Chains A and B, each alone.
Chain A
Amino acid sequence: EDQVTQSPEALRLQEGESSSLNCSYTVSGLRGLFWYRQDPGKGPEFLFTLYSAGEEKEKERLKATLTKKESFLHITAPKPEDSATYLCAVGSGGSYIPTFGRGTSLIVHP
């Protein structure tokens, strides 16, 4: 059974204070790892797909990296508008349906 664990559950940062969110996974044949951003009461917004260890993707202040066991979402010099829940999901050869982690709730204080 695929498993996805995100840490920390919640993270509070000051504006400009860089940090990283972790997504560790156990899957049978990784077909992709996905990061989403979700604002309260809204649907998840797709951020990145990573397919293989060593791959990196960047978008504005966000950078996602992937190893064989985990992915990191690095947030550089965050702003209050980066406050949201960040969800990680994995797709595997064992299932057509991605497995979601419980998310990390990020709050960036001005």
Chain B
Amino acid sequence: DTEVTQTPKHLVMGMTNKKSLKCEQHMGHRAMYWYKQKAKKPPELMFVYSYEKLSINESVPSRFSPECPNSSLLNLHLHALQPEDSALYLCASSKGQGDYGYTFGSGTRLTVV
């Protein structure tokens, strides 16, 4: 299995809603990442987990809350988002932090209304 699976593919949520994005990989990768991507821009790093521990938080607002329940799963909990948070949210994994050969998921298209 050489895939990173993200669910849902599309999500529309109100500013008072609570939702979660999910990411799963079964490649034995020990580093997992959340990226945010706006149209016509490169991916922007949000969080890095290494061996299931939060390694890097790129000053992301607290309305985004990551969770790594085990080595295969990565969640991103969303609460009280703003319309400007609408974007494509990408999950990626690699063998380890510092291994740049990322495998990306297909992303979740998030729209905040």
Contact = CB atoms under 8 A, between A and B. Distances in A.
Interface residues of B, number: 24
B49 interface: no
Interface string B78-112: 00000000001011100001101111111101000
Interface in B31-52: 40-43, 45, 48
Contact of A49 (B40, B42, B90, B100): B100
Contacts of B91: 43
Nearest to A101: B42
Contact of B43 (A46, A91, A96, A100): A100
A34 B103 CA distance: 12
A41 interface: yes
B12 interface: no
A16 interface: no
A43 B105 contact: yes
A79 interface: no
A41 B100 contact: no
B56 interface: yes
Nearest to A41: B109
B88 A44 contact: no
B101 A97 contact: no
A45 interface: yes
Contacts of A87: 42-43
24 contacts: A31-B100, A34-B100, A36-B104, A41-B109, A42-B106, A42-B107, A43-B90, A43-B91, A43-B104, A45-B104, A46-B101, A46-B104, A49-B101, A91-B100, A96-B48, A96-B98, A97-B45, A97-B48, A98-B100, A98-B102, A100-B42, A101-B42, A102-B40, A103-B42
Interface of B: 4, 6, 40-43, 45, 48, 56, 88, 90-92, 97-98, 100-107, 109
